[in-house]
A and B are shown apart, each in its own frame.
Chain A
Amino acid sequence: MSEIQATPQVTSAESGPDWQRVYRLMLTIRLFEERANDLYQRKIMPGLAHLSSGEEGVAVGVCTALRDDDYITSTHRGHGHCLAKGASADRMFAELLGKAAGYCGGKGGSMHIADQERGNLGANAIVGGSLGIATGAALSIKQRGSDQVAVSFIGDGALGQGVLYEVMNMASLWKLPIIYVCENNLYGEYTASSETIAGRPIERATAFGIPATEVDGQDVRAVYAATAEAVARARSGGGPAFLWCSTYRYFGHHVGDVDRGYYRSREEEQFWREQRDPISLARVWLEADGLVDAASLEELAEEVTHELDAAVEFAVAAPFPNPDQVATDVFA
């Protein structure tokens, strides 16, 4: 049986990713979600919006350890994964608004953004719905003799889906290059995961012989390090891994979930925002390690803000799809 792995540690001094870029990506996601929220509140964005603010450390930490040609599958709370894998904000906003210039021509929307050029096989509005797809992509990688890897982002709610245990079993049996990244944001919709998950979650992976690691999802360095280790093992034929990343969603389950008092307290929300914010935490050690100074971070924030405002402007001005598109793309 596979052991539960100790969380690997890295310091910023180590040769690793470009931490400034990491910080910038997290900030991009944060400001993207703020704008998505705003567009939704102003009724410019139709449908549903599940925001990932607070969870940036997981998306960016994981995707920073991936190559462009590695695959990911994402969830209904997937804007961050998509941006972290390299999607551009303008076409993402366009998709959120149902515009023709969106990544899916406006046919997918917030919950279904796919960006095949960067290996993003799509977000999924069924909890655990993309586990089969990601594991199948890993089977494809193995059959093709490639050294790509696949990552399946799931939330703690997906632990309730039987398909997770089916695919983990096959991934372990066949040593498939897949990493299951579970974002434990403590709530499945409006119910605390403590009410829905029995036992120790990562033992569900180790039971299949899959190495599993508990990761502080608010520390992007820890997420990156754990992912990099799992990716290196998977690329060299070592099989799957499971990362259990503790994190928190600042907004409700969706934008309309405003009165949250019946399932979580303001104090708890305040604690995570003030004490455990992945961007603030990164900023502290980036400055402490002398990798950035306050002035350059201000400059960077201004740059990202400008970029995202321009992206929103592009999306708002972009035309809707032509009605003749309604019946295209049903069959390939």
Chain B
Amino acid sequence: MVSAGRHPKNAINAVIGDLPDNIEVVPIHKGHRWGVLGCATCDATEAIWSTPRSADNHARGLLRFVARHLHDEEG
């Protein structure tokens, strides 16, 4: 049993479980989207699939979103 806030793929949980303060994960469970990553600083969002083709590659894509939105560290 997977809890409502926990993605069934560990590789994806590793990314969404360790987010900077300005990035939040919103579980929506709508169609193929398990949830959304959102940046509170610039309002950008990115889909988190429920069943991505490769969990590792999808996790890498989500990590790219996090890295692009480290607004505070950019100064």
A and B found bound together: no
Q: Name B's A-contacting residues (CB within 8 A).
A: none
Q: Name A's B-contacting residues (CB within 8 A).
A: none
